[in-house]
Amino acid sequence: MRNPEPNTVGGEQREAALDPDELIEWFTAEGRDLPWRGPDVDGWGVLVSETMLQQTPVNRVLPIWREWLERWPRPSDLAAAPQGEVLRAWGKLGYPRRAVRLHEAAGVIASEHGDRVPSDVDTLLALPGVGTYTARAVAAFAYGERAPVVDTNVRRVVARAVHGAGDAGNPSPKRDLADVDALLPADDHRASGMSAALMELGQTVCTVRSPACESCPLHHGCAWRAAGKPAYDGPPKKVQRFAGTDRQVRGLLLDVLRGSEGPVPRASLDAVWSEAAQRDRALDSLLVDGLVEQTEDGRFGLPGEQ
DNA sequence: ATCCGGGGGA
DNA sequence: TCCCCAGGAT
């Protein structure tokens, strides 16, 4: 039941309404067989995967996710682990505050939710480290609920296929949610399937640099393609520098502590960055964030390690 | 609006 | 080099 001319009405451009079944069918056939999509993965496995995947490519998450789920199969298992062990197991995934927050969330889930990850979006949002995206991703992917899941990929797919734009502009959570909500079918099962399909499409086909339109299940249902694939014309995207920033220094300091058996003297940290002022600032911020602790004799280590 | 890791592809 | 990557908290 498709509109024969989905993108035009009376010769004028119109917004495309994506066909859920077309997307779901494509996802069923072509979606990657990622481990956190397995039938025996529960809400905990999904929450761990979604947290690790924040700003982090799939290939780097895969081995760490497997290790975590084997080692800490339930929230209470992670909650019982020392912070330092959690940070070591996080390795170099980046943004280690995610690990601290996930550790905290595991404690809340264990003590207040019967060791079961909640399925309700508002309850999920109350957990540390769980925001607009992750709450809905867990509800949709772990529990099959209808929830608009909007990540950078979905924003791009919708901007192109629905609005005919080259890419999405700056994020606007309320508008983005309403935008995607309007695309989802009414029933939970198909809505969650469409959410998964939209993300997969953006990751594997409708990519930033080289979209594979010839492999796209939407073919004639894409407003961007119909409009001749116009270039992105929105506001310039922010580019965050990394080299020379406090983030780099924090990473170097933490890497020393991950690689040591226990706390290290100040000199071991001083060796990784020559500029003292920035080094001190980075170390202070790590202490504030609870990623590093100082022992009574003045050495530094991961939290919970004497 | 900024900060928060780290790696890999073009 | 530049830019991107399943974002969240402040």
Q: How far apart are CA A249 and CA A273, in angstroms?
A: 7
Those residues whose C-beta lies under 8 Å from the C-beta of residue A97, and which sit 6 or more positions away, are A129, A289, A291
* Residue A204 CB in 7 A reach of strand C: no
Specify which residue's alpha carbon is closest to the C1' of nucleotide C7: A54
Token pair for A4: 């024969």
pLDDT of residue A12: 39
> Domain count of chain A?
2
pLDDT of residue A17: 83
3-state secondary structure of A177: helix
Alpha-carbon dihedral A255, A265, A249, A62, rounded to 10 degrees: 10
Domain stops at, among A101, A117, A143: A143
Q: Which of A143, A162, A185 is the last residue of a domain?
A: A143
Whether residue A77 lies inside any domain: the answer is yes
Is residue A259, in this structure, part of any structural domain at all? Answer: yes
Mean pLDDT per segment of 10 residues, for chain A of length 306 residues?
A: 37 67 97 96 98 97 98 98 97 98 98 98 98 98 98 97 93 93 97 98 96 92 94 88 96 97 96 96 97 96 88
Asked if residue A299 is part of any domain, the answer here is no
* pLDDT number for residue A10: 33
CATH number at residue A60: 1.10.340.30
Residue A5: predicted pLDDT: 36
A161 in a domain, yes or no?
Answer: no
pLDDT value of position A237 = 87
The answer to whether residue A192 is domain-embedded is no
Give me the pLDDT at residue A8, please: 41
Instruction: Write down the pLDDT at residue A239.
Output: 83
Strand B lies under 7 A from the Cβ of residue A252? yes
Q: Is the residue at A152 inside a domain?
A: no
Question: Residue A67 domain-assigned?
Answer: yes
Domain carrying residue A126: 35-143
In a domain, A15, yes or no: no
- At which of A143, A174, A204 does a domain end? A143
Rounded, the Å distance between the CA of A8 and C1' of C7 is 35
Q: Which helix H or strand E contains A8, and what residues bound it?
A: strand A8-9
User: What b/e sequence results for A199-231 when a residue is b if at least 16 CB atoms lie within 10 Å of its CB, and e otherwise?
Assistant: bbbbbebbeeeebeeeebbbeebbbbbbeeeee
Question: What pLDDT digit, counting tens, does each position of A148-176 carry?
Answer: 999 999 999 999 999 999 999 888 899 99
Q: Which nucleotides of C are covered by protein (CB under 7 A)?
A: 2-9
A50-80 exposure pattern, b = at least 16 Cβ within 10 A, e = fewer = bbbbbeeeeeebeebbeebbeebebbbbbbe
Q: Hunting for tokens 């901007």 — which residue is that?
A: A159
Nucleotide in closest CA–C1' contact with A95: B5
Give the tens place of pLDDT for each residue, A82-101.
999 999 999 999 999 999 99
